[in-house]
Amino acid sequence: MKKNVKETIAEFKTEAQELEHRYYSFDFCYFYFRSSKEEIKGNINIEQSCQVLWSYLASWGMLRGYSFLLSKNPAYLKDLVKWIYEQPKSTWEIDVEDYENKSKEVLNLYNQINKFLLRGTTTLVTKILLGVFAITPAYDRFFKDTFKEISGNKCSFIKFDESSLIAISKFYKENKREIDQLSKEHKVINFNGEITNYYYSKAKIIDMYGFQIGRKKANEKKAK
């Protein structure tokens, strides 16, 4: 079903007028890992990489409540970060239009991250897939509520599996023109507030849409 994706993304971006807004933690994390991978000359700053990923996860609520990460520190991510840099540059080029041919590769990336975390949830692992590679939306509460409804309750989005990727791919195809254009219009910003040469992936645009719609509906329910 065709949706007004552009209007929803505009609402999302309106909130992030200042560089210090938490939404930009995605930009900082994604830029750091992708640019580090492309510029590697034998020296990888594992400590700084762990701190960047840890900060991104914290800003998106992965270190709150009953999260097992509350009893850990950034060093817990060391082996995961080393694995991230072992991935080929082509991993960062995977996007929603590739799900049909590369779903097994995407699912394998998810499973590998989950092994390093030991106790990872679907939300946590997909937050990492989004923040580091930007190849899939993050399956948080708002996104899952939105896309469960979009799929006609055919997919719960509780699990990160092929059926959920197919549902996202279907949404992309139905809204391809808008999503492609939005991807071209949104460039990633670095820690200094400078516009980089990287663009928001289509998966990131879809993530923003799902998050914004789900949050709006949740707020409307609270207001009743």
The dihedrals phi and psi of 214, each to the nearest 5 degrees, come to -65, -40
Residue 223 lies in a domain: no
Over residues 62-89, mean pLDDT: 94
Structural domain contains residue 46? yes
**Residue 188 within any structural domain of the chain:** yes
> How large is the C-alpha radius of gyration of the chain?
17
Residue 65 belongs to some domain of the structure: yes
Domains: count for the chain: 1
Q: Is residue 13 part of a domain?
A: yes
> What is the helix (H) or strand (E) element at residue 162, kind and residue range?
helix 162-174
| Composition of the chain by helix, strand, coil, percent to 5 | 65, 5, 30
Structural domain includes residue 171: yes
Handedness of CA 15, 18, 22, 27 (dihedral sign): positive
**210 close to 137: Cβ distance less than 8 angstroms:** yes
pLDDT digits (tens, 9 = 90+) for 29-67: 999 999 999 986 557 899 999 999 999 999 999 998 889
Please give the residue range of the domain that contains residue 98. Answer: 5-216
Q: How far, in Å, CA of 81 to CA of 99, rounded?
A: 24
- Residue 115 domain-assigned? yes
Model pTM greater than 0.85?
Answer: yes
109-122 in b/e form (b: 16+ CB < 10 A) is: bbeebbebbeebeb
Segment 5-22 mean pLDDT: 90
